Structure 1
Amino acid sequence: MQFVFDLDGTICFKGRPISEPLVLAIDKLIAAGHDVIFASARPIRDMMPVVHEKYRGRLWIGGNGSLASGGGAAEHVHAFPAEQLEQILQLIRQHEATYLIDSDWDYAYTGAADHPILNNLDTLGLARNVALESLERIVKVLILTASDIESLNEKLLALDVVVHRHGNERILDISPQNVHKWTALQKAGVQPKQFVAFGNDANDISMFREALHSVRIGEHPGLGEYASDSIPLEGDYESDIVRKIEELAVQYAAVR
């Protein structure tokens, strides 16, 4: 069976790497013959600090599906079309927005010097913060602040792009249309109802819909109707996640 894991808020917490107990649980999954895939909103560059290097040969989906890698560097890249990107940039200028804009590796950042997002941004120093016009293939746009964030959100939705709002954050997470975790998994050969998904947020809905079994971490309401199981972030929740992984490893042991 293929097991697909989101990262932040699902198997890694507070920006820290996947903990040793969860790494051991994943190792046991692999030893039992299951395949493991990581699918994150982070670009590949920012997945590397939190996912153990032993997993770099496995499939990584980054940027909510705009990037895919089998060995630690972006191999599949789905960027914004040039005309659509120019419309987005025009709206950014109109709304005096600050942003984090990602290419397949480098990025452009105009947010505050103490913004919390910097805690997870290129912590290994692998990329460069460059001028926006220097980025060739833009795959993801995060709007951090704007003069009118709600108006900007409405105008972005009219451009036929994918916009996620994460939890209670006012950040707008923008991806090209028809680019999400499930489309990237499909391109990699993953079949509907042939995988188990673990996730915690709106950007996991696309793969939860297609999973044979799905595990919601936390209480995001949009995931609830698609979740087979839910694990609240209460008490020793990492141990609860480990137990669920072990349980499902046995439940789907005969499914390859």
Structure 2
Amino acid sequence: MMRFIFDIDGTIAFDGLTIEESIKDLLLEYVKLGHEIVFASARSYRDCLKILGDQLNKHCLVTLNGGAIYRQGECLQSYPLDVETFQNLLEICHDNELAYFVDDPLNFSTYLSNKIPFIHSVDRTTSSKEISIEEMLHPVKMVIFVGDDSNDGLDAIKSLQQISKVDLAYHEHEGCLYINPLGVNKATSLKEVFGGEYVAFGNDQNDIAMFQSARKAIQIGNFKPLMAFADQIIEPGPGFSQRLKQVLDQSIEELME
């Protein structure tokens, strides 16, 4: 049995809203063969459900960049931000008019939400809901929009980088800082559940730690900072599911010998 870990956005979903049926069918085919499929995403559990669909969302989900772990709809573990640290982050955002999006294991809070690049993909049809920031008692992940390379944005990044007890990752294409508790990422949460025996598929900055811990790492696309950690690269686009199948079969053959 092989365990395959998939990031979602930019790895198997390319429009932020859907996964092609051919890809879903392919993953389910490997489940029927006895292999394990796991998803590790920056998305919340709430936002994984619809895009994965009724069959795939029953599998283990490592959400919020490792901040929460779900299996069969149950939250097995979550890792909240330090209370004082979170208040410092909020103060910087409000003082500088920086938009933010905060997730607890299920619900979310926003400030100046129209500036958040991924706001269109937030699923508001599930049992989760938008709550006030005062009700956000167990924040797990925070995304702060700092804009492009403007002076205000750069000054805000410098202020945020001074805060301890957090991991920060800047996603240049979104102009956003992704913030999790210090030492919490996809790799640490996967290790908590599986001990590190997996083949990883990803495409972006937040997949680096997962790639470093994987037996084999396959990159989707051409994000340069990830390439140094990838064993193989697959191009997205037409025929992607066929290329993915070839790599899955090759990995099984190589690692199960």
TM-score by length of 2: 0.90
Give the secondary structure class of the aligned counterpart of 1:206: helix
Q: CA 1:249/1:16 → structure 2, altered by over 3 Å: closer, same or farther?
A: farther
Partner of residue 72, structure 1 = 73
Give the secondary structure class of the aligned counterpart of 1:138: coil
Aligned partner of 1:165: which letter?
Y
Looking at structure 2, the residues matched to 128 and 115 of structure 1 have their Cα atoms a distance apart, in angstroms, of: 17
Residue 228 of structure 1 pairs with residue 231 of structure 2: yes
Looking at structure 2, the residues matched to 116 and 89 of structure 1 have their Cα atoms a distance apart, in angstroms, of: 19
Partner of residue 196, structure 1 = 199
Q: CA offsets, 1:181-210, max 9 Å, x none? A: 01101111333xx21000000100001001
Give the secondary structure class of the aligned counterpart of 1:198: strand
Q: CA 1:187/1:112 → structure 2, altered by over 3 Å: closer, same or farther?
A: closer
- 8 Å contact kept, 2:28–2:56: no
1:5-154 alignment to 2 at 5 Å? 5-113=6-114, 116-145=117-146, 148-154=152-158
Partner of residue 177, structure 1 = 182
How far 1:112 moved relative to its partner? 4.5
Aligned partner of 2:183: which letter?
N
Looking at structure 1, the residues matched to 96 and 238 of structure 2 have their Cα atoms a distance apart, in angstroms, of: 42
RMSD, aligned α-carbons: 2.0
- Count of residue pairs the alignment pairs up: 252
How far 1:37 moved relative to its partner? 0.8
Looking at structure 2, the residues matched to 239 and 189 of structure 1 have their Cα atoms a distance apart, in angstroms, of: 28
Paired-residue identity, %: 25
Q: Which moved more, 1:224-233 or 1:196-205?
A: 224-233
Give the secondary structure class of the aligned counterpart of 1:37: strand
How far 1:234 moved relative to its partner? 4.6
- 8 Å contact kept, 1:49–1:124: no
Residue 213 of structure 1 pairs with residue 203 of structure 2: no
The answer for unaligned runs of 5 or more in structure 1 is none
Aligned partner of 2:221: which letter?
G
Q: CA 1:3/1:121 → structure 2, altered by over 3 Å: closer, same or farther?
A: same
Partner of residue 158, structure 1 = 162
Looking at structure 1, the residues matched to 117 and 66 of structure 2 have their Cα atoms a distance apart, in angstroms, of: 23
The structure with more helix, counted as a fraction of residues: 2
How far 1:67 moved relative to its partner? 0.6
Give the secondary structure class of the aligned counterpart of 1:214: strand
TM-score by length of 1: 0.90
Q: CA 1:239/1:74 → structure 2, altered by over 3 Å: closer, same or farther?
A: same
- 8 Å contact kept, 1:111–1:144: no
How far 1:253 moved relative to its partner? 4.3
- 8 Å contact kept, 1:213–1:228: yes
- 8 Å contact kept, 1:143–1:172: yes
